[in-house]
Amino acid sequence: NAGVTQTPKFRVLKTGQSMTLLCAQDMNHEYMYWYRQDPGMGLRLIHYSVGEGTTAKGEVPDGYNVSRLKKQNFLLGLESAAPSQTSVYFCASSYLGPLDTQYFGPGTRLTVL
């Protein structure tokens, strides 16, 4: 089992560019999450999904879109990147939801110039 994988590991964007971060899990988990980690802020939930075809907003959803077309994949999109979106992005998944252990990917470090 690879667990939770994230693609890419690093990316540098210019303001206004778009990109998609891919998260994949091979544990047959229903729930998937996207977080961002900023210095002094901990991890903040961007969007999450409680199953294939569903998505919901977290704490800081503005400027991001997500899709969960397949159970094993959760995509995070930035349509027009801004310097405020410079962060480390983590994807996580869990089987049963918030009371179940969330397994995290290794992270994607994104810099927006």
Partner 1 sequence: DQQVKQNSPSLSVQEGRISILNCDYTNSMFDYFLWYKKYPAEGPTFLISISSIKDKNEDGRFTVFLNKSAKHLSLHIVPSQPGDSAVYFCAATRGGQGGKLIFGQGTELSVKP
Binding site for partner 1 (CB under 8 A): 4, 31, 33, 35, 40-45, 48, 50, 56, 58-59, 90, 92, 94, 97-99, 101-107
Pick the closer one to partner 1 by CB: 13 or 46: 46
Query: Cβ of residue 31: shortest distance to partner 1, in angstroms?
Result: 5
Strand ranges for 8-72 from DSSP E: 10-13, 19-25, 31-38, 42-49, 56-57, 65-67
Pick the closer one to partner 1 by CB: 14 or 39: 39
Pick the closer one to partner 1 by CB: 19 or 43: 43
Residue 90: in which H helix or E strand, if any? strand 87-94
> Are 96 and 31 in contact, with CB atoms under 8 Å apart?
yes
